[in-house]
Structure formats: structure tokens, C-alpha cells
Amino acid sequence: MKPCLQRRLFVLGTAAATLSMLVPASARREQERLVQVRARRFTFEPDEIRLALGVPVSFEFTSLDVPMGFNLPDFGVRSDILPGMVTRLRLTPDKAGQFPFHCDIFCGSGHETMSGMIVVS
Ligand SMILES: [Cu+2]
């Protein structure tokens, strides 16, 4: 490699390293947490989900038997959960506490008890 080309590459590399240090931490993409939830008559697994305040989460729902719903009224979100499919729901918890969720699609006797809890701290 010619010395002048080596010097150019060094300058370019140094400039790129400097630029990456100048990007503030807040502008970097926050790590999104993945939470997989499996539904089956008449349970969610897991039925207690602990989340960190302000950290984005991506839910992936699957049903092992019949169509279900995931409804989290305190955050105003819901999702269908269909057998053989993965449905996704993104959420960034902006308040701390315990927030119940439940199935909102009738799935048989026992549907009324199909619920769980999101715990944000
Ligand atoms: Cu149900």
C-alpha cells in the first residue's frame, strides 16, 4: 500500500471514530426488549411480565389453540392472538405500577379468568 493511501485511510478512520463519539447517547437507538407471550385456554404464559420504566418492549404473541386477545387497558393497547401466527405489539411503559391485562376474545368457559399482570418499575 502506498504511504499516501495509508495516511488517507488513517485520517478517514479517525474521522469516523470521532463522529461516532459525538453522537449523544440519547440519540442512539435504545435497546428494545423482546417479550414472547404464549396464550392457550385459559392462560397467558408468562402471566406476570416485569418491565422497566421507559424501556421499549416488543411483544410477540402466539396462541397454541384458539383465537385470543391481549388487552392492556391502562396503556390503551390490545392485540389479536391467532393460532399459527405471531402478532407483535410495541409499547414503551411511561408509568410505574401494576397493570392487569386480560383476554378480550371469548375463548370458552374459563375465558373470564384469563388474565395476567404487567409490573413496571
Ligand atoms: Cu378468552
Interval 42-94: pLDDT, tens: 999 999 999 999 999 999 999 999 999 999 999 999 999 999 999 999 999 99
Distance 82 CA to ligand 1 centre (A): 12
DSSP-assigned letters across all residues of 46-113: SSEEEE-TT--EEEEEEESSS-EEEEEGGGTEEEEE-BT--EEEEE---S-EEEEEE--S--STTGGG
Please report the pLDDT score of residue 21 as a whole number: 47
Would you state the pLDDT for residue 31? 84
Residue 97: the pLDDT is: 98
Å from CA of 54 to ligand 1 middle: 29
Looking at domain 31-120, its CATH superfamily turns out to be Cupredoxins -  blue copper proteins (2.60.40.420)
Q: 12 CA to middle of ligand 1, Å? A: 58
Instruction: Give the integer Cα–Cα distance in Å for 118 and 92.
Output: 12
Task: Give 19 Cα–ligand 1 centroid separation in angstroms.
Answer: 52
3-state secondary structure of 2: coil
CA separation for the pair 86, 39 (Å, rounded): 11
Domain ranges of the chain: 31-120
Residues with CB under 5 A from ligand 1 (ion): 103, 107, 111, 114
Q: In this structure, are strands 57-63 and 33-40 parallel, antiparallel, or unpaired?
A: parallel
Find cell 373470564 and name the residue: 112
Q: How many A from CA of 24 to the centre of ligand 1?
A: 45
97-102 and 115-120 strand pairing? antiparallel
115 within 8 A of 103, measured Cβ to Cβ: yes
Q: How far is the CA of 63 from the centre of ligand 1 (A)?
A: 11
How many whole angstroms separate alpha carbon 6 and alpha carbon 34? Answer: 43
Q: For residue 18, is pLDDT > 80?
A: no
